[in-house]
Amino acid sequence: MWRLRSVDLNLLVIFQLLYEIRNTSAVAEKLGVTQPAVSNSLARLRKQLNDDLFERSAQGLAPTAYADKIAGIISSSLAMLELGLGNLEIFDPKSSQRTFRIAMSPMLEVELLPSLYTFLRLHAPGVGIISVGEGGNALKHDLEEGDIDLALGYYPQLQAGFYQRGFLEESYVCVMRDGHPMLDGPNSIERLAQFDHLIIEAKNSGHHHVEACLRRAGVAHTRELHVPSFVSAPFIVRDSDLIVTLPHKFAETVSSALGLKIIEHPVPIDPCWVRMFWHRRYHRDPGLDWIRHVIADLRGGSATDSVDEAILEIGSVA
C-alpha cells in the first residue's frame, strides 16, 4: 500500500494508453495535451516504479517485461474504477435506444441476423444492430476503444485483454442440388470422391481445417472449384453438379430457401467453435452483457453453458 501513495492515478491512465498505442505523440493527441507533457509523465512513472517501462524501437515504443506484467492489472483496475465511480445506468432493453456494433462474417450475418432482428423487434424495439463485417486489421484496436462492441467468429489475434465465449458448435455436412446423383447411392467416402467439389478457401477462419480433411480422405482433387467465401457456395452448387462442405446451421438456413439437399458428411471433420469476443474494459457493461446473452440463447444457449464457463476462464487472461 505504501507504494501506491506515490503513484498518481493520471500516470496510470497515460501508461495504459502508451501500452495500447505505443506512440507518445498519438497519446498526447488523444488526451489533448502536448507530447512533452506525456514524456514528462512517463519519466515520473519510470522513477516511481523503478523501471524504464518502454524502450524505443523501429515500430515505436516497446514495453519492458515489467510493463507487460503490470499492463493487464492496470487495465482491469482502471476499468473497475471507471465503472465504480461513474453513474452506471441499468440497461432496460424495452426502452433503450442503443445501437450495438458487431463484427461478424457474411455467413454469420445470414445465420444470426434474421432471428436477432425478430427478437429485438419483439423485446427491444429501440435497440439497433450494425454489422461491421469481419473487422479487418483494426479489429483489436476498435474493440479496445469501444468502437466495436462485440466480435463473433474465429479471431486468434484476440487473446490478452479479451474475454471469449463459445456460443455455437459447428459440425459439417455435404450440400448439393436436388436430384444430384450422389443422392441415389451409398453415402461413403469412396463415392463422395467420385464427384467434383466446391472448395471454400477459408484460411483465416475457424473452418481452415476442412480442406485438409477432405484432401487426406482423397475427396478433393484437380477438378474442384475454389471460392473465398461460404456465402456464394449455395448458389453455385444449386446450378451445378458440384458438392460443397458447409457448416450445418448455415447449410440448413440456405438449403430451405434454395431447395438444396443436405446429407451427413462421410468424412470425419472436427467441429468448429464459433466464439464471441469482447474487451475486458467493457466486461461489466450491462448492455453488452444483455446482448451477449441474447445471442447465446438464440444460437443454442443452455446447450453451451458448461463449455462457456471454461472458455471464459481461459479467455480472460491478464
Residue 316: predicted pLDDT: 34
In whole angstroms, what is the distance from residue 161 CA to residue 79 CA? 12
Residue 155 and residue 112 share a domain: yes
Cα-flanking dihedrals φ and ψ of residue 276, to 5°?
-110, 140
Domain count, the chain: 3
Residue 318: predicted pLDDT: 27
Cα-flanking dihedrals φ and ψ of residue 202, to 5°?
-105, 60
Contact (CB, 8 A) for 98 and 287: yes
SS3 sequence of 5-63: HHCCHHHHHHHHHHHHHCCHHHHHHHHCCCHHHHHHHHHHHHHHHCCCCEEEECCEEEE
Residue 184 and residue 38 share a domain: no
In whole angstroms, what is the distance from residue 141 CA to residue 21 CA? 9
Residue 40: which of 5, 67, 8 has the closest Cα? 8
Residue 181: predicted pLDDT: 93
Residue 254 and residue 182 share a domain: yes
Query: Does residue 269 lie within any of the structural domains?
Result: no
**234-272 tens-digit pLDDT:** 999 999 999 999 999 889 989 988 999 999 999 999 888
pLDDT tens string for the chain (318 positions)? 445 566 677 888 889 889 988 998 888 888 888 888 889 989 988 988 889 999 988 878 899 999 998 888 888 787 777 666 654 567 889 999 999 999 998 888 988 899 999 999 999 999 999 999 887 778 888 888 889 999 998 777 777 778 888 877 888 999 999 999 999 989 999 999 989 999 888 766 777 788 888 888 888 765 678 888 888 999 999 999 999 999 998 899 899 889 999 999 999 998 887 888 998 888 888 899 999 999 988 876 433 343 333 333 333 332
Residue 280 and residue 131 share a domain: yes
Buried b (16+ CB within 10 A) or exposed e, 87-107: eeeebebeebeeebbbbbbeb
For residue 54, what are the domain limits?
Answer: 4-85
Which of 85, 109, 130 is the last residue before a domain boundary?
85
- Cα distances from 239 to residues 14, 38, 243, 259, in angstroms, run 58, 62, 11, 11
User: Which residues, 6 or more positions from 84, have their beta carbon under 8 angstroms from its beta carbon?
Assistant: none
Residue 103 and residue 75 share a domain: no
Beta bridge partners of 128: 99
Residue 55 and residue 8 share a domain: yes
**50-73 tens-digit pLDDT:** 899 999 888 788 999 999 988 888
In whole angstroms, what is the distance from residue 134 CA to residue 229 CA? 12
